[in-house]
Amino acid sequence: MKKIYNPSKEEWSTILQRPTQTVADIESTVLTVFKKIQSEGDIAVSTYTEKFDQVKLDEILVSTEEIEAAKQAVSTELKEAIQLAKANIETFHNAQKTDKVFIETSNGVACWQEKRPIQKVGLYIPGGTAPLFSTILMLAVPANLAGCNEIVLCSPPDRNGNINPAILYTAHLCGVTKICKVGGIQAIGAMTFGTETIPQVYKIFGPGNQYVTVAKQLATKFGVAIDMPAGPSELLVVADDSANAAFVASDLLSQAEHGKDSQVILVSTSKDLIDKVETEIDIQLAELPRKDIATIAISNSKLIYVENDQTALEMINEYGPEHFIICMKNEDFYVDRIANAGSVFIGNYTPESAGDYASGTNHTLPTNGYAKQYSGVNLDSFMKSMTFQKISDIGIQNIGNAIELMAEAEGLQAHKNAVTLRLESLK
């Protein structure tokens, strides 16, 4: 990791740059795949699966027999861990339910808001270098709590045409209605346009590599909503001498092992801690099974020293990390003032891994600085707010004249007439 001491504010944008390609670099590839799927459906999906995943499939849909075999293949211990995580995630997201909002804004004018589920949602679950079955919990659990009718899951098959048993077990446990062996751009395209086998959905959720992220963004041009731009994983830790260097190093590496394009950053007011963390990273990295991946990610990462908390906070808010860990003596300063972060982890005993799996919060979060304007996935992500109103004869008399005046001022005579006719009928 590169060590940087007291960078000027003018240098921040360069120092904090993510190691990602731009939409323009990938857009043409995505649109080519989309066009093929629009015109050829399942045939195009299978062609691209063979090209990108090096496997020729007879069936895109996962069968009941495959699900049953997967349930047998997953160990009892892992099943119990998944069930514990599911219970915590359900508890936290169930608490996010809100009651109908009702108010009489004027005498005889009743307005209220109710939430309705998005009927058809698509879940993208990465399964390449790491089968992220935990993401199913984060997406299918709130989808079910919201009441979504159709939950379609796409995940890339391995070279033998199979999906990891833990993914299949978790999908079945969480009530996914259809599981498809398809990944990458072609999965996003299939859920965007629909094929003979894969249903078209109204909103697509889930993280992925840079190609998946751009595909999701371009899908919005074709009438499909997405959760957020959620690309390569990232973590920023702010720490001082009160932090445990081994813990900090383990947290940085936990995100670095996600993928070669992941990024991790340590911001510290202690040069001594930076040196200790650097040493710990070298020690722990050597023991990781995914050492090759983590090493490349670490090369894109930074150890940054700043002199005070205010400078650190300004830099962190400028970066807008997906995951943000606070290990500082004055943690409240950061907790109270952080403006841009996807999810925040506080104290030496709160690893980012807890949020990834089992604490209950959602790990599908905005990356690449989008924490400045996007929230992470939550129960409301799977719902729409609808407003209602009912106006009585007294109510229309109370607000009718104001509507007439405003409509006339905007030159919209039919709008005015719709009120005038009602008012005259009451004379």
**CATH number reported for the structural domain that contains residue 41 in this entry:** 3.40.50.1980
Residue ranges of the binding site = 124, 186, 209, 233, 255, 258, 323, 356, 410, 415
With vertex at residue 204, the alpha carbon angle to CA 369 and CA 235, rounded to the nearest 5 degrees, is 30
The answer to whether residue 21 scores a pLDDT higher than 70 is: no
Share of the chain above pLDDT 90, in %: 90
Instruction: Give the residue ranges of the annotated binding site for NAD(+).
Output: 124, 186, 209
Residue 20 scores a pLDDT above 80? no
Assess whether 66 and 202 both reside in one domain: yes
Mean pLDDT of 164-178: 97
User: Same structural domain for residues 120 and 176?
Assistant: yes
Note whether residue 329 is domain-resident.
Answer: yes
Query: In the predicted model, is pLDDT for residue 402 greater than 80?
Result: yes
Domain containing 411: what range?
392-425
Q: Between 23-40 and 210-219, two packed helices, what is the crossing angle to 10 degrees?
A: 60
Q: Which of 93, 172, 234, 323 is catalytic?
A: 323
pLDDT of residue 22: 63
Are 250 and 217 in a shared domain? no
- Total number of domains in the chain: 3
Report how far apart, in Å, the C-alpha atoms of 2 and of each of 267, 301, 328 are.
12, 7, 22
β-pairing verdict for 343-346 and 323-327: parallel
Asked whether residue 56 carries a pLDDT value surpassing 70, the answer given is yes
243 three-state secondary structure: coil
* 359/295 Cα distance (integer angstroms): 28
For residues 21 and 34, which has the higher predicted lDDT (pLDDT)? 34
213 within a domain of the structure (yes/no): yes
Angstrom distance (rounded) from CA 423 to CA 386 = 27
Annotation marks residue 172 as catalytic: no
The pLDDT of residue 128 is 67
User: Which residues touch 64 (CB under 8 Å, ≥6 apart)?
Assistant: none
195 with 265, same domain: the answer is no
Cα separation of the two ends of the chain: 79
**Domain stop point among 229, 253, 277:** 229
Could you tell me if 195 and 218 lie in one domain?
yes
Same domain, 258 and 355: yes
Indicate the range of 38-42, 98-102, 124-128, 347-351 predicted with least confidence.
124-128
Q: Which of 170, 199, 229 is the last residue of a domain?
A: 229
| 323 a catalytic residue | yes
Cα separation of 379 and 117, whole Å?
A: 10
pTM of the entire predicted model:
0.92
Catalytic one among 322, 363, 404, 408?
Answer: 322
Neighbour count for residue 229 (Cβ, 10 Å): 18
Residue 365 in any domain: the answer is no
Asked if residue 399 and residue 330 are part of one domain, the reply reads no
Is there a single domain that holds both residue 331 and residue 304?
A: yes
Same domain, 209 and 294: no
- Round the average pLDDT of the chain to a whole number and report it: 95
Q: Positive or negative, the Cα torsion across 79, 85, 88, 93?
A: negative
Q: Are residues 278 and 302 in the same domain?
A: yes
